[in-house]
Amino acid sequence: MKKLHIILASVIVLAAIIYFTGLYTYFIRTEINEELPSASPVAETSVMPSPRVLAEGNFGKIDVVHQGSGQAKLVEIGDARIVRLENFSVVSGPDLYVYLTTSSTPTGDPASLGDFINLGLLKATMGNQNYDIPAGTADDYRTVVIWCKRYGVLFTFAVMQ
């Protein structure tokens, strides 16, 4: 009977560790397929501006566990700019965020990101998704990084050219 209590307590402790560290998120896949947003018509002509791809790059593998695929695109629509992830896929993880950075060589060291802008929580681990870039952002922010905020881990990145 005492062995059963020890085993049960061990299972409960293990489950709590998996839950509180977020390890269970590695097994959860989510998908979203957002359309490319449309711009407001130009007032004097009532013509809708066409989206224009300014730069693009591909996501890749960081290591055996942390990897992504698909494209990151810097898209201009009227006066607005967005980061668009297309055919995107990344390994699941806890607390994943999308950053736009000036560094073209990010590593697992947070200092390697250089100046960066937090575009928000990753919407899904797969699919097509859009992230607004704040107005006035300089043109030298050309790398999209998927970063685990909780543990300070680089999951994947794409340098847009």
Q: Where are the domains of the chain?
A: 2-37+51-159
- DSSP strands (E only) in the chain: 31-33, 52-58, 68-77, 80-90, 96-101, 116-121, 126-132, 143-148, 153-159
Q: Can you give the pLDDT at residue 9? A: 72
Q: Can you give the pLDDT at residue 27? A: 66
Report strand pairing: 68-77 vs 52-58. antiparallel
Q: Can you give the pLDDT at residue 10? A: 73
Q: Looking at the domain covering 2-37+51-159, what would its CATH class be?
A: mainly beta
Mean pLDDT by 10 residues, the chain (161 residues): 76 68 67 85 65 96 93 95 98 94 93 95 98 94 96 95 95
Q: Is the pTM of this model over 0.85?
A: no
Q: What share of the chain is helix, strand, coil (3-state, %, to 5)?
A: 20, 40, 40
> Which of helix, strand or coil describes residue 80?
strand
What phi-psi label fits residue 78: left (phi over 0), alpha (psi between -120 and 50 degrees) or beta?
left
Strands of the sheet with 68-77, listed across from one edge: 31-33, 126-132, 80-90, 68-77, 52-58
**How far is Cα 142 from Cα 4, in angstroms, rounded to an integer?**
56
**How far is Cα 153 from Cα 155, in angstroms, rounded to an integer?**
6
> Which of helix, strand or coil describes residue 142?
coil
